């Protein structure tokens, strides 16, 4: 997901005006990097979802190809080399002799990663990891975020009884606001995600058809995985909020997804991204399960840079969402410099989520 996809991709909208102004002022003054230099790690892991042809038509749930190209250029300009996860973790073992690096990660296996992301990555000679839920490929998944987007796109208003709300959605801003509010309401509550899924089904939203339209199929994924710049990573079978599931189910989600992807691609799958990835969605229990499932490392969506300290606990690695649109230059700089985490922790905790 977008969370998966949605919640992370929309976080850029939610910041209060005062904080935005502060961020903008620091950026323009040239003090942003200086003010957060303790928060700038040897590595960063960047997160994307869809790389869309029509970002407005998709209600601002991804970013256009031009933005991806701009981000890669900014990353390189900042002095970071774009490397594989394997190489990045090696560099963390020997920081004194290693160049700063960036990891590129894409979640959920959208078709546009092949048509729109890969050409940009080829131009930049930039490797990437694609985190794939089994259900996206088999079409056995509840992609409520795609259904909700589809519904809001064509309706002028939406009555959503579980929230006791009537959303006006006559234009793009109202539609994206409704999407954001319903996504925020789900938060990390799996039962609410299921309520929304049932609501969408009852309205005739065809979930499997949407997955067919937006997500890679077996053949596409196999071809994508064979590309020299691509590594395949795990993202569970069903893309549910893991904190809501019992121990055995969580372990099965990891083991089964890993086996599925290894069988499909013929390559060992060593890294995992937790669906949603927030503190409410995954934590120490999931980290322990990821180690037991045989992964070498796992990514959250807790914001922050990568430091050598993360090697002592590589199953709750931070990751930064940069794949949303529109995106201010200062917002991107805030993520690339470490200012984002400095601000969120009030300049207290440079190293995210070791526990």
Binding residues (CB under 5 A) for Zn ion: these are 1, 4, 107-108, 275
In the complex with Zn ion, the residue whose CB is nearer, 133 or 338, is 133
The vertex-278 CA angle with 224 and 333, nearest 5°, equals 75
In the complex with Zn ion, the residue whose CB is nearer, 36 or 236, is 236
Q: How far is the CB of 275 from Zn ion (least distance, A)?
A: 5
Helix (H) or strand (E) holding 321: strand 320-321
Q: How far is the CB of 37 from Zn ion (least distance, A)?
A: 32
In the complex with Zn ion, the residue whose CB is nearer, 107 or 321, is 107
Q: Report the alpha-carbon distance of residue 276 to residue 258 in Å, rounded.
A: 18
In the complex with Zn ion, the residue whose CB is nearer, 107 or 142, is 107
Residue nearest to Zn ion (CB): 4
Bond prior to 222 in cis (omega within 30° of 0): no
Q: What is the DSSP secondary structure assignment for residue 80, as one 8-state letter?
A: P
Q: How far is the CB of 108 from Zn ion (least distance, A)?
A: 4
Q: How far is the CB of 328 from Zn ion (least distance, A)?
A: 24
Q: How far is the CB of 214 from Zn ion (least distance, A)?
A: 13
DSSP state string for 100-126: -EEEEEEES-BTHIIIIIHHHHHHHT-
In the complex with Zn ion, the residue whose CB is nearer, 108 or 142, is 108
Query: Which residues on adjacent β-strands are paired with residue 299?
Result: 273, 317
Q: How far is the CB of 19 from Zn ion (least distance, A)?
A: 26
Q: Report the alpha-carbon distance of residue 143 to residue 210 in Å, rounded.
A: 8
Q: Report the alpha-carbon distance of residue 286 to residue 317 in Å, rounded.
A: 12
Q: Report the alpha-carbon distance of residue 146 to residue 5 in Å, rounded.
A: 9
In the complex with Zn ion, the residue whose CB is nearer, 98 or 183, is 183
């Amino acid at each position: 997901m977008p969370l998966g996809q949605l919640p992370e991709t929309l976080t850029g909208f939610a910041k209060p005006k005062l904080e935005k102004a502060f961020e903008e002022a620091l950026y323009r003054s040239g003090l942003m990097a200086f003010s957060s230099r303790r928060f700038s790690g040897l590595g960063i892991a960047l997160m994307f979802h869809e790389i869309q042809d029509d970002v407005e038509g998709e209600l601002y749930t991804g970013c256009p190809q031009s933005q991806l190209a701009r981000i890669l250029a900014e990353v390189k300009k900042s002095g970071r080399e774009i490397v594989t996860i394997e190489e990045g973790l090696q560099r963390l073992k020997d920081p004194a002799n290693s160049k700063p690096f960036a990891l590129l990660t894409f979640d959920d296996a959208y078709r546009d990663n092949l048509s729109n992301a890969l050409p940009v990555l080829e131009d930049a000679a930039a490797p990437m990891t694609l985190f794939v839920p089994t259900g996206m490929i088999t079409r056995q998944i509840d992609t409520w975020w795609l259904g909700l987007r589809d519904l809001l796109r064509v309706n002028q208003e939406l009555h959503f009884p579980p929230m006791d709300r009537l959303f006006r959605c006559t234009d793009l801003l109202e539609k994206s606001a409704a999407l954001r509010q319903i996504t925020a309401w789900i938060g990390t509550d799996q039962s609410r995600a299921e309520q929304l899924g049932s609501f969408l089904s009852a309205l005739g939203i065809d979930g499997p058809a949407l997955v067919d339209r937006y997500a890679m199929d077996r053949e596409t994924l196999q071809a994508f995985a064979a590309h020299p710049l691509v590594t395949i990573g795990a993202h569970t079978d069903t893309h549910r909020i893991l904190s809501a599931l019992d121990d055995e189910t969580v372990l099965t989600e990891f083991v089964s997804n890993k086996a599925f992807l290894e069988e499909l691609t013929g390559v060992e799958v060593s890294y995992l991204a937790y669906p949603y990835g927030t503190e409410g969605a995954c934590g120490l229990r999931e980290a322990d399960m990821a180690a037991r499932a045989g992964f070498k490392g796992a990514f959250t969506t807790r914001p922050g840079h990568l430091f050598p300290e993360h090697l002592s606990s590589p199953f709750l690695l931070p990751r930064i969402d940069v794949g949303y649109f529109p995106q201010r230059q200062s917002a991107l700089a805030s993520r690339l410099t470490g200012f984002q985490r400095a601000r969120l922790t009030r300049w207290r905790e440079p190293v995210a989520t070791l526990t």
